Amino acid sequence: MSDCLTRPAAAPAPAAEQPLRLMPRPQAHAPAAGPWSVQAVAELMAMPFMQLVARAQAVHAEHWPQGDVELASLLSVKTGGCPEDCGYCPQSAHHDTGVEAGKLMELDSVLEAARTAQAAGAARFCMGAAWRAPKDRDIEKVAALVKGVKDLGLQTCVTLGMLEKHQARALREAGLDYYNHNLDSAPDFYNEIIGTRTYQDRLDTLSNVREAGISVCCGGIVGMGETREQRAGLLVELANLNPPPESVPINQLVRVEGTPLAGAEPVDPFEVVRVVAAARILMPRSRVRLSAGRRELGDGIQALCFLAGANSIFYGDKLLVTGNPEADGDRALMARLDLPVARPGSGPAPLSEPAGTA
């Protein structure tokens, strides 16, 4: 596999876009109907709401005819004390949020949590550690966690911060299926919320993960003060990766006291639906996951998100250190909406024609 990610070849980007500074690579899997421009995606998101949702649902039905929803569980295996200054994050050492720094959890405790998640129906078990970049000795310990969870029959995912190439390879050898590393926002808004890590740092980690043969989980956050055009810019960055992420988590900002974004103006929940719909259209074969902030969305907006193409949720009562709808409530919602739960390893329909023609 080539050693980097890039957008497919295209006409020069408009001045409003910031091109990726990466080496070219062969086009093994071009983005659906791409490459996309910020202007085109902003126009897509500005469609009349019902028309946008209907278009997204048509794409979703074509590529995910089973209509199932993947349940993923997330455990914080190393909480707090992160040296990054991300404005939304209660685990940052820069913010006084009451979250204390802890050590990496022991294997037995992690496996107990994984068994509980599996018994509740989760197909994927995600482990998060509040590091800027793990040391090699940290990777050895996480690799043991990955192997243990993998042996239970669950898909595995970790989010550990920035990775070097050899670290990504070590995790793949341990059986890691997915690596989560979000872009968070559009390039032209990123510096408003993060000052300790560059956008290119994030892209480099994604490149290292891809080269190691690990699937990518990568998305962003809605409601940090960005414009709709900047939300479109985030989706352009994701969709124009070659290939696009297999999982795309869409988070609504959870405002936590003590963080710089605690006083952010709440976003219109219908904007979250628009982002989900656009993500489905741009990335028809990706799992689009409703992640942080589902509690604030409520059942009705979540139902619209599922209609617009969301087909994965984080499942359980906590996402790292913030609240999430309880598992019983999630199961009840799935039943009320007649949404089947995905089996481990289930994916999109086989390609019969180039993706994204809808």
**Contact by Cβ (8 Å): 145, 113:** no
Between helix 49-63 and helix 294-307 the angle, nearest 10°, is 70
Residue 289 has what pLDDT?
A: 94
Tell me whether residue 305 is one of the annotated catalytic residues: no
Q: Looking at 4, 124, 197, 217, which residue is catalytic?
A: 217
Residue 143 has what pLDDT?
A: 97
Residue 28 has what pLDDT?
A: 37
- Burial class of residue 299, CB neighbours in 10 A (0-12, 13-18, 19+): middle
3 state SS of 323: strand
Tell me whether residue 218 is one of the annotated catalytic residues: no
Residue 120 has what pLDDT?
A: 82
Backbone angles phi, psi at 229, to 5 degrees: -60, -35
C-alpha torsion sign, points 278, 310, 155, 135: positive
Q: DSSP H helical segments within 32-106, as ranges?
A: 38-45, 49-63
Tell me whether residue 289 is one of the annotated catalytic residues: yes
Tell me whether residue 86 is one of the annotated catalytic residues: yes
What would the two tokens of residue 338 be? 């007649």
User: What's the half-sphere exposure (Cβ side, CA atoms, 13 Å) at 16?
Assistant: 13
**Contact by Cβ (8 Å): 166, 207:** no
Tell me whether residue 82 is one of the annotated catalytic residues: yes
Q: Looking at 4, 7, 55, 89, which residue is catalytic?
A: 89
Q: Looking at 4, 7, 124, 157, which residue is catalytic?
A: 157
On the question of a cis peptide bond just before residue 134, with omega within 30 degrees of 0, the verdict is no
Tell me whether residue 280 is one of the annotated catalytic residues: no
Please give the model's pTM, rounded to 2 decimal places: 0.84
Residue 322 has what pLDDT?
A: 47
Residue 114 has what pLDDT?
A: 92
Query: What are the Cα distances from residue 338, in Å, to 66, 85, 201, 316, 334?
Result: 12, 41, 41, 20, 6
Residue length of the chain: 358
CA distance 355 to 221: 26
Amino acid at 150: K
Residue spans of beta strands (DSSP E) within 197-246:
215-217, 220-222
Q: Enumerate residue ranges in the chain where pLDDT < 50.
A: 1-31, 318-324, 353-358
Q: Looking at 126, 202, 280, 285, which residue is catalytic?
A: 126
- Residue 90 DSSP symbol: T
CA distance 233 to 218: 14
Residue 97 has what pLDDT?
A: 66
Residue 352 has what pLDDT?
A: 58
Between helix 38-45 and helix 269-282 the angle, nearest 10°, is 130
